[in-house]
C-alpha cells in the first residue's frame, strides 16, 4: 500500500504541486477578502443542504413501504428550507453561524484542556493543552468581537484551512523522492 501511494505521488508530482499552489492562492484570497469568503462558504453550504434535501425527499418517496417515510420526508424538507435560506439569503444568518463556530471552538478548547490534564503523565500532553488553549482563545476572541467578527471569522478560518491544506499538497511530493 505504501509503495502504491509513493508511486502515485511521484507520478503525479506536478499535479500535487499545482493543486497545492492553487489552494495556497485561494486561501490567501480568503484571508485578504474574509467577508466575501464567508458569504461564498455560506452559499456553498446552502447548496450542499439543498442537494441533500432533494436527495432525501427522493429517497423518502422511493423507499416504498418504509415506516419512516414521514420523518424522512420531513428531514428532507428541513434541509431544503435551511439550504435555501443559506444559499439564497447570503447576508442573513452570518452572525448565527459565527456564534456556532465560536461555541464549537470554546467547547473544543475545554475538551482538549481536560484531555491534556488527564494525560499530563504522558509525553506530548502539553501539545494537547496548547491546542485547547488556542481553541478556547479563538472562540473567546470571536465571541468578544461579535457582531463584527461575523464579517471576518468564517472567511479567515476557511482561508487558513485552504493555505494549510495547500502547503500539505505542495510539500508532500517534495518529501517523496522520485523513483
| pTM check: above 0.75 | no
Exposure of 37 by Cβ count < 10 A (0-12 exposed, 13-18 middle, 19+ buried)? buried
| Gap between the Cα atoms of 155 and 39, Å rounded | 8
Task: Quick: pLDDT tens for 10-27.
Answer: 888 899 899 999 999 999
Task: Quick: pLDDT tens for 128-142.
Answer: 899 899 999 999 999
pLDDT over 70 at 64, yes or no: yes
So what's the pLDDT on residue 179?
47
Residue 41: all three cell numbers together: 462558504
Give Dmax (Cα) for the chain. Answer: 57
Lowest mean pLDDT across 43-47, 63-67, 79-83, 141-145:
63-67
So what's the pLDDT on residue 4?
77
So what's the pLDDT on residue 169?
86
So what's the pLDDT on residue 2?
59
In angstroms, the Cα distances linking 34 to 40, 63, 164 are 10, 43, 16
Amino acid at each position: 500500500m505504501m509503495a502504491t501511494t509513493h508511486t502515485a505521488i511521484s507520478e503525479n508530482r506536478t499535479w500535487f504541486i499545482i493543486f497545492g499552489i492553487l489552494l495556497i492562492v485561494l486561501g490567501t484570497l480568503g484571508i485578504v477578502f474574509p467577508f466575501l469568503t464567508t458569504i461564498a462558504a455560506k452559499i456553498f453550504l446552502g447548496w450542499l443542504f439543498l442537494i441533500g434535501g432533494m436527495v432525501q425527499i427522493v429517497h423518502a418517496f422511493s423507499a416504498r413501504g418504509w415506516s419512516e417515510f414521514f420523518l424522512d420526508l420531513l428531514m428532507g424538507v428541513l434541509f431544503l428550507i435551511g439550504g435555501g435560506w443559506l444559499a439564497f439569503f447570503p447576508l442573513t444568518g452570518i452572525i448565527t453561524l459565527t456564534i456556532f463556530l465560536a461555541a464549537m471552538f470554546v467547547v473544543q478548547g475545554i475538551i482538549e484542556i481536560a484531555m491534556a490534564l488527564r494525560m499530563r503523565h504522558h509525553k506530548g500532553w502539553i501539545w494537547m493543552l496548547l491546542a485547547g488553549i488556542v481553541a478556547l482563545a479563538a472562540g473567546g476572541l470571536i465571541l468578544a468581537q461579535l457582531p463584527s467578527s461575523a464579517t471576518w471569522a468564517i472567511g479567515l478560518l476557511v482561508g487558513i484551512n485552504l493555505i494549510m491544506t495547500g502547503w500539505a499538497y505542495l510539500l508532500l511530493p517534495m518529501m517523496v523522492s522520485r523513483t
